[in-house]
Structure 1
Amino acid sequence: MDTKTPLTFKVIDNPGTPNRELHIDFTQAFRSLSSEARVVQFRDHINNLQKNIAHHSQDDAARQGMVVILQVSKEILPFIEGDEIPLDETVVIIITSEFQLGNLANRGNTH
């Protein structure tokens, strides 16, 4: 997977609960770009993910992770385009026992 990405990801376990959190942050390099340059880089990021996904088999763990990142990135893109997201804050996605990242990856449309 291409490691040049505008995002960083962390999965946080919540002891005592079946839930986890996916923490998403924007890199400092991405935050320092102009609004227009951020849109271009974020679209490139999505295109690169789509290309990389095509080179992995369906059951490849790396592919599944890339699909999740792609889906999250597609959800964030309109906010990047509209300059409507605070880039210095962490986006947190709660992952419940009913919602697992692998299930999301298996359901995802990658094109």
Structure 2
Amino acid sequence: MKKRKIPMRKDLITNTMMPKKELVRIVVDKEKNIFVDPTGKKAGRGAYVSLEPEKIQQAKKRRVLENSLGIKISDEFYDELYAYVEHQRARKELFGDK
């Protein structure tokens, strides 16, 4: 059987290439709205960050997303992102890798 290619993306926080499934995409649309893109397919400028809560705290402290996406990001968005990542990690532990 032929092996499938695994799409790789760069994690903004650690600056390393990782499989796309292990990252979450953050998108800024034309109206400068920022949101989490669980599908990875929404239109707009995107950036990938790790699905580890500790890394999200680092991103908040260093303001990595602001530098990459070129907009001001509120602390509330970082809190929302942290909650999303916590939820995804809990799902992974509960249901395993899919």
TM range (shorter): 0.3 to 0.5
Structure with the bigger RCO (C-alpha within 8 Å, sep 6+) is 1
Relative to the length of structure 1, the TM-score reads: 0.33
Relative to the length of structure 2, the TM-score reads: 0.35
